[in-house]
């Protein structure tokens, strides 16, 4: 458990909000909301809460409805919810757990019990976040790994096909990386990959940047037209060329493909980007080639 973790307390009663906040003061950062709608808005914003204490009996939108909405949205589905309620029947507790809550605290509550349960679930959340870090992120660069890339790519592919919006894939390879390792050592090579990865991480909520293996990276972005996509790719070429790790000249080659009717799955789209990358290397490196 970390004091940097965030707990959102949701209750329409200001006195209950104050009491719950006093129970967990010092364990975490605390935010509050007075309604279900406010809870949903706050939960979807970054940085997100690590845990939500949610009152069941609220006007307009009760806690059960709020929890269902949280769990049905991929953005908020992983946030654990503890119901806080005056309802003490077994069916009420069962209902809350069935729709996705991790625990149930009944009123009148004891401060020590609230603190203990919040502490327990914050610890579990921290452990889960660490496991996700190992499962989904590349340990050298901090970017997403290939496993995560393939999962999210399938989702983006399906959304692009259903909604008829663009999806772009960039295959990126560091030029002459073997010679960097041979001439400067693997520790310097790792530093180069870290700096390249940082430069490739596009500051865009729709973009996904992953290290697919070795000196290869894959970038996905959507919701942009051809000119915007091309400009983004050119900016990446310039950003990498401006790097100067250990006074080493570093460049990349990019193969770029846009989803089309011929792409029945993501593997097909990725293969076209890979072919374009091969052409970029054949044509002199430090350049971008578009797939057709």
**Which active-site residues does the annotation give?**
215
Please answer whether residues 222 and 160 qualify as being in contact, where contact means their C-beta atoms are separated by less than 8 angstroms: yes
Radius of gyration of the chain (CA): 24
Please answer whether residues 116 and 23 qualify as being in contact, where contact means their C-beta atoms are separated by less than 8 angstroms: no
Question: d(Cα 72, Cα 104) in Å, to the nearest integer?
Answer: 20
Supply angle C-alpha 46, 51, 54, rounded to 5.
110
- Please, which residues have CB within 8 angstroms of residue 227's CB and are 6 or more apart in sequence? none
Please answer whether residues 222 and 166 qualify as being in contact, where contact means their C-beta atoms are separated by less than 8 angstroms: yes
272 three-state secondary structure: helix
């Amino acid at each position: 458990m970390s004091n940097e973790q965030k707990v959102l307390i949701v209750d329409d009663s200001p006195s209950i909000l104050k009491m719950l906040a006093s129970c967990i003061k010092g364990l975490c950062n605390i935010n509050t909301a007075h309604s279900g709608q406010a809870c949903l808005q706050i939960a979807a914003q970054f940085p997100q809460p690590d845990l939500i204490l949610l009152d069941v009996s609220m006007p307009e939108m009760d806690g059960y409805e709020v929890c269902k909405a949280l769990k049905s949205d991929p953005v908020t589905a992983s946030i654990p919810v503890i119901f806080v309620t005056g309802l003490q029947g077994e069916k009420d507790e069962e209902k809350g757990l069935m729709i996705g809550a991790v625990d149930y605290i009944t009123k009148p509550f004891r401060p020590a019990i609230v603190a203990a349960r919040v502490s327990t679930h914050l610890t579990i959340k921290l452990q889960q976040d660490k496991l996700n870090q190992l499962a989904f992120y590349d340990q050298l660069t901090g970017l997403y790994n290939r496993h995560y890339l393939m999962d999210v790519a399938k989702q983006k592919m399906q959304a692009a096909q259903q909604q008829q919006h663009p999806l772009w894939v960039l295959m990126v390879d560091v030029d002459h990386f073997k010679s960097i390792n041979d001439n400067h050592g693997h520790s310097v090579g790792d530093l180069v990959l870290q700096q390249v990865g940082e430069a490739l991480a596009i500051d865009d909520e729709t973009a996904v940047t992953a290290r697919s293996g070795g000196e290869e990276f894959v970038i996905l972005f959507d919701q942009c037209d051809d000119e915007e996509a091309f400009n983004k790719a050119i900016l990446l070429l310039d950003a990498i060329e401006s790097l100067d790790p250990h006074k080493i000249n570093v460049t990349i080659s990019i193969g770029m493909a846009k989803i089309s009717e011929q792409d029945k799955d993501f593997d097909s789209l990725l293969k076209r980007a890979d072919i374009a990358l091969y052409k970029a290397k054949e044509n002199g490196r430090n350049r971008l080639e578009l797939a057709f």
